[in-house]
Structures are given as C-alpha cells and as structure tokens.
C-alpha cells in the first residue's frame, strides 16, 4: 500500500471538545455569622435616608434651587456648600456638580471604634441637558 498519496492524515484527530477536570468542593467549616455590624449599618442608613429626604424636600421648595444652580454655574463651591449647610442636616454632605447634574454624598459619622464611616447615600440629580 502506498500511503504517500493518501488524502487524509494518518494520525488520529483531537476530539472537538477538550476534556476538563472536575474539582470536587472542599468541605469547610465557617464561623458563626456576627450581624452586629450589619444591624448598626442598617440603623445608620435609615438616618441617611431620612436626611436625604430632608435634602430633597428643601431642594424642591422656594427659590433655593435657583440659588444653588446659580452658585454652581458660577463655579462658587463655597457658596454651594454654604447653601447646603443652611438646610441643617445632621450628617456631612459632599456636593459635586457638572453642567448636567449634581451629586450629593451623605455619609454617616465615623464610629469611634472605627476609622471610617459605615454607609454612604449618593443622590444624583439631573439639572441640565
């Protein structure tokens, strides 16, 4: 037999799907969950939600929105911060704005036992096209 002119390869083809290894899960013992921090975070977030509601109520009343947008349009960050402080919120608020919108970040006060706050509520509102 003359194999030199055989049109197909003589070596076996690889399977269309390569084999895979199955890894069996390792049974692990996990510690009991501690929900104290989670419960404190939920309570703190409720405060942020209440403060966010106060912020939105004030933004939508009277000519406060005109003053805020005018100060932001002029790039007067100190006036924007002063206007937000006149609302009288119990939590710190950081305000960022662009020509198309404004972002308010309300954060909880840091816990004395921790160096960082647990929660942040971000309110993003559109005010331009």
Structural domain span for residue 97? 34-126
100 in a structural domain? yes
Tokens at 57, concatenated: 């109520």
| Percent of residues in the chain assigned helix, strand, coil, to nearest 5 | 35, 15, 50
* Number of structural domains the chain divides into: 1
Q: How many CA atoms lie within 13 A of 129 on its CB side?
A: 0
**Does 27 fall in a domain?**
no
**How high is the mean pLDDT of the chain?**
85
In-domain check, residue 14: no
Give tens-digit pLDDT for 63-122: 999 999 999 999 999 999 999 999 999 999 999 999 999 999 999 887 777 667 789 999
Q: Kindly report, residue by residue over 10-52, the tens digit of the pLDDT.
A: 666 666 666 666 667 788 888 898 898 889 889 989 999 999 9
Long-range CB pairs of 29-37 (<8 Å, 24+ gap) are 37/118
Mean pLDDT is lowest, of 3-7, 53-57, 87-91, 106-110, for 3-7
Structural domain contains residue 15: no
Distance CA 106, CA 117 (A): 11
Alpha-carbon distance of 127 to 29, in angstroms, equals: 52
- For residue 110, the model assigns a pLDDT of 75
**pTM score:** 0.71
Domain contains 119: yes
């Amino acid at each position: 037999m003359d194999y030199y002119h055989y049109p197909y390869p003589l070596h076996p083809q690889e399977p269309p799907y390569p084999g895979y290894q199955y890894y069996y899960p390792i049974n692990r013992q996990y510690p009991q969950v501690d929900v104290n921090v989670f419960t404190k975070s939920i309570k703190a977030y409720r405060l942020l939600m209440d403060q966010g509601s106060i912020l939105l109520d004030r933004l939508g009343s009277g000519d406060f929105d005109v003053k805020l947008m005018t100060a932001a349009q002029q790039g007067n960050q100190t006036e924007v911060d002063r206007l937000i402080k006149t609302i009288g919120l119990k939590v710190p608020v950081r305000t960022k704005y662009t020509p198309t919108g404004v972002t308010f970040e309300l954060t909880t006060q840091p816990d004395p036992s921790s160096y960082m706050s647990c929660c942040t509520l971000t309110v993003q509102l559109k005010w331009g096209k």
